[in-house]
């Protein structure tokens, strides 16, 4: 499973990770031929690889170089222990649970699938559907396999946006006393979080928002509130999410999202948009031919047959919503439209709120590893001018995640991404404050469990990873 990450950066089977100071190379691909002892691989003193044929001739083998664009956050620092956890998360694991349910004779796990809007848009582009239509057809497909409930993570994203807004206001108000209150850095991208924990540790972590991502918000909702409402123990629910990137598998495996008493994860399995396509192919089904049915309404951001989205970027709209909320709450300014200023490249944009020539708020969207590195270096030099930064490891953000569907023949990556963005933005956007069911859950469920427990259900924590010193990381 680790080979599906943006960079294949495993170091043997040691429990360590690759640091940025090391030269990363992908394993050399050697074409296998039938027969015995056709050639040997010889490693010279200078580190070069040679293929030695039976007649003694040597052929130098090229290393496959990894660029910064290849090396997305968690791919560069994934441990062997984490890779084992990730192998437990695939569409094959979902099939295994569904087969066990059919053989169980009544004692089955309740299977819940939560689908991200980015995955819906990717599958919609592939099959020539609208994003809402793809969502209804996916609901029908999963239920035909034996899935009991299908939800939409746009619903849980309401909680992520609301909590991010509140957290930003609190940080802004204490910025004079807490020098690491700002800039607040978005926390929804697990690739960025993994990179931050393992590369910059205690320096960067205080800046990162503690608000859970939509995936893990849905984990709280399903394994806590939903389980209570259904009268089920959390461990009897098998919760699957459909996500646009493989890094989400790593996020679901974090110990912070494991329910110790119930001995279960809040998200048991993460499958990517591409793995859903694989499931459709294995079933011999085209999504276009599947009958559309309504998504389950309990945790879905829908009105009738139409799915709603949130304004702003295809990565969740964090900058957009926090900016509007902060402008109103802190300065009494009603901002109708955001004006984005592109800086070094299209993946580094800035938004400002100015009054009487004074900059009151300065936000940025920073996508891709190179831009993230520049952001961190500015922070370390005390040169960052921002109050909030929407950070995403993938260039172009979540709609371009590594788990999304690939271009079809005669279609470029740029054309596909543009189409996915169009489908994603075509859905009607609403503000998270407008969802009455979210407000109701705040007033009932979250108030009933107490302030401390409510914070645990909506927020998380981060852990600096101490770098182990070993022979591979020492510069001789």
Tens-place pLDDT, residues 33-75: 555 555 666 666 666 677 777 777 877 776 554 443 333 333 3
Above 90 in pLDDT, residue 324?
Answer: yes
Give the strand pairing for 237-243 and 110-115: parallel
- Which range (14-28, 393-407, 425-439) has the least confidence? 14-28
**CA distance linking residue 326 with residue 361, whole number of Å:** 8
Residues 6 or more apart whose CB falls under 8 angstroms from that of 312 comprise 318, 319, 320, 321, 338
Contact between 204 and 153 under an 8 Å Cβ cutoff? The reply is no
Above 90 in pLDDT, residue 28?
Answer: no
**CA distance linking residue 449 with residue 462, whole number of Å:** 23
pLDDT at 352: 94
- Which range (86-90, 121-125, 355-359, 441-445) has the least confidence? 86-90
Above 60 in pLDDT, residue 165?
Answer: yes
Give the strand pairing for 49-53 and 58-61: antiparallel
Average pLDDT over residues 439-458: 87
Q: Which residues pair with 404 in a beta bridge?
A: none
**CA distance linking residue 255 with residue 261, whole number of Å:** 13
Name the average pLDDT for the chain. 82
Query: The tokens of 126 are what?
Result: 């592939």
Above 70 in pLDDT, residue 86?
Answer: no
Q: What's the angle, vertex CA 97, arms to CA 94 and CA 99, rounded to 5?
A: 110
Query: Regarding predicted confidence, which is higher, 276 or 17?
Result: 276
Average pLDDT over residues 188-195: 89
Query: The tokens of 385 are what?
Result: 């001018």
Please name which of 272, 275, 212, 279 lies closest in space to residue 398, comparing C-alpha atoms: 272
Contact between 162 and 433 under an 8 Å Cβ cutoff? The reply is yes
**CA distance linking residue 70 with residue 25, whole number of Å:** 11
Query: The tokens of 160 are what?
Result: 């992520």
Please name which of 420, 316, 402 lies closest in space to residue 73, comparing C-alpha atoms: 402
Query: The tokens of 340 are what?
Result: 């984005």
**CA distance linking residue 470 with residue 4, whole number of Å:** 27
pLDDT at 66: 43
pLDDT at 24: 41
Please name which of 287, 297, 329 lies closest in space to residue 144, comparing C-alpha atoms: 287
**CA distance linking residue 122 with residue 417, whole number of Å:** 9
Please name which of 228, 239, 170, 214 lies closest in space to residue 444, comparing C-alpha atoms: 228
pLDDT at 106: 67
Query: The tokens of 231 are what?
Result: 């009268």
pTM reported for the whole predicted model: 0.80
- Unique residue bearing structure tokens 């939903």: 226
Q: What's the angle, vertex CA 256, arms to CA 254 and CA 259, rounded to 5?
A: 105
Q: What's the angle, vertex CA 109, arms to CA 103 and CA 111, rounded to 5?
A: 110
Residues 6 or more apart whose CB falls under 8 angstroms from that of 275 comprise 90, 91, 403
Q: Read off the pLDDT band of 20 (50, 70, 90).
A: very low
Above 60 in pLDDT, residue 2?
Answer: no
Average pLDDT over residues 100-125: 89
Query: The tokens of 380 are what?
Result: 């370390």
- Which range (29-43, 159-173, 250-264, 266-280) has the least confidence? 29-43
- Which range (12-21, 181-190, 311-320, 363-372) has the least confidence? 12-21
Average pLDDT over residues 117-140: 94
């Amino acid at each position: 499973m680790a080979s599906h990450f943006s960079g294949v950066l495993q170091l043997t089977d040691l429990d360590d990770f690759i640091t940025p100071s090391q030269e990363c190379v992908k394993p050399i691909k050697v074409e296998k031929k039938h027969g015995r002892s056709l050639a040997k691989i010889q490693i010279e003193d200078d580190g070069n690889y040679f293929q030695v044929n039976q007649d003694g001739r040597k052929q130098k083998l090229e290393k496959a170089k990894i660029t910064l664009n290849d090396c997305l956050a968690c791919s560069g620092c994934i441990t062997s222990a984490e890779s084992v956890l990730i192998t437990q998360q695939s569409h094959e694991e979902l099939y295994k649970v569904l087969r066990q349910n059919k053989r169980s004779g009544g004692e089955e796990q309740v299977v819940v699938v939560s689908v991200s809007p980015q995955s819906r848009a990717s599958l919609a582009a592939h099959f020539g559907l609208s994003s809402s239509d793809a969502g209804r057809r996916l609901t029908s497909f999963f239920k035909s396999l034996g899935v009991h409930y299908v939800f939409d993570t746009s619903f849980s994203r309401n909680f992520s946006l609301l909590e991010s807004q509140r957290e930003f206001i609190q940080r802004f108000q204490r910025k004079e006393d807490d020098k690491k209150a700002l800039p607040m850095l978005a926390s929804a991208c697990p690739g960025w979080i993994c990179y931050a924990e393992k590369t910059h540790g205690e320096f960067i972590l205080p800046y990162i928002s503690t608000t859970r991502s939509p995936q893990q918000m849905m984990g709280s909702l399903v394994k806590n509130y939903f389980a209570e409402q259904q009268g089920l123990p959390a461990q009897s629910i098998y919760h699957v999410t459909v996500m646009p990137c493989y890094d989400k598998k790593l996020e679901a495996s974090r110990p912070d999202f494991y329910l110790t008493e119930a001995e279960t994860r809040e998200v048991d399995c993460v499958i990517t948009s591409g793995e859903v396509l694989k499931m459709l192919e294995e079933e011999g089904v085209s999504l276009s031919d599947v009958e559309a049915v309504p998504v389950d309404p309990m945790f879905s951001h829908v009105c009738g047959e139409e799915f709603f989205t949130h304004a702003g970027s295809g990565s969740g709209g964090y900058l957009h919503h926090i900016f509007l909320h902060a402008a109103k709450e802190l300065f009494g300014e009603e901002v109708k439209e955001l004006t984005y200023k592109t800086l070094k490249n299209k993946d580094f944009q800035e938004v400002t709120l100015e009054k009487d020539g004074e900059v009151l708020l300065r936000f940025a969207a920073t996508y891709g590893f190179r831009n993230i590195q520049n952001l961190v270096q500015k922070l370390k030099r005390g040169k960052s001018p921002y109050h909030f930064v929407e950070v995403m490891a993938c260039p172009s953000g979540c709609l371009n995640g590594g788990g999304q569907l690939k271009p079809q023949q005669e279609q470029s990556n740029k054309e596909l991404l543009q189409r996915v963005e169009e489908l994603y933005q075509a859905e009607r956007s609403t503000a998270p404050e407008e969802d009455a069911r979210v407000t109701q859950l705040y007033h009932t469920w979250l108030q009933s469990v107490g302030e401390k427990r409510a914070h645990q259900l909506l927020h998380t924590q981060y852990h600096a990873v101490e770098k182990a010193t070993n022979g591979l990381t020492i510069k001789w």
